Amino acid sequence: MTFTQALLEALESLNGNKMRSGLTVLGIVIGVAAVIAMLAVGNGAQASITGSISSIGTNLLFVFGGAPNQEGPPGSGGGRSNGNNERPLTMGDANALLDTYAAPSVEMVAPAIQGNNLLTFSSEKTTTSISGVTPEYYTVRNLELAEGEFINQEHILGRMSVVILGPETAIALFGHADGIVGEVIRIEGQPFRIIGVLVARGGGAFGSEDNAAYIPFTTAQARLIKRSTRDEVDVIFVQATTAESVPQAVEEISNILRQRHRTPVGADDFTVFTQQDFLSIFESITGVLTIFLGGIAGISLLVGGIGIMNIMLVSVTERTKEIGLRKALGARKRDILLQFLTESSLLSLIGGIIGVFFGWLIAVIVEQVATATGNNFIPIVGTDAILLSTGFSAIIGLFFGIYPASRAASLEPVEALRYE
One digit per residue, the tens of pLDDT, for the chain of length 420 reads: 565 766 666 666 666 677 777 777 787 888 888 888 887 887 777 776 666 655 555 678 888 887 665 444 444 444 444 445 567 888 888 898 888 888 888 888 999 998 888 999 888 888 888 999 999 998 888 888 889 999 999 999 988 999 999 998 999 898 888 889 989 999 988 999 999 999 887 655 445 678 889 999 999 888 888 777 778 888 899 888 887 888 888 888 888 888 888 877 667 778 888 777 666 666 677 777 777 777 776 777 777 777 777 777 777 666 666 666 666 666 677 777 777 777 777 877 888 888 888 888 888 888 888 777 766 677 877 777 777 777 777 777 777 777 666 766 676 665 555 554
CA dist., res. 320 & res. 257, Å (int): 83
Give the number of C-alpha atoms closer than 13 A to the C-alpha of residue 201, restricted to the C-beta side.
28
Residue 102 three-state SS:
coil
SS3 call for 348: helix
Q: How many CB atoms lie within 10 A of CB 191?
A: 10
- Helix, coil or strand: residue 43: helix
CA distance 289 to 39: 9
Spatial separation of the C-alpha atoms in residues 235 and 64, rounded to whole Å: 5
* 170 CA to centre of own chain: 26
Q: What are the extents of the domains in the chain?
A: 3-53+280-418, 67-268
> Using an 8 Å Cβ cutoff, are 314 and 13 in contact?
no
Residue 328, classed as helix, strand or coil, is helix
End-to-end CA distance of the chain: 27
Residue 378 CA to residue 43 CA, distance in Å, equals: 9
Q: How far apart are CA 111 and CA 113, in angstroms?
A: 7
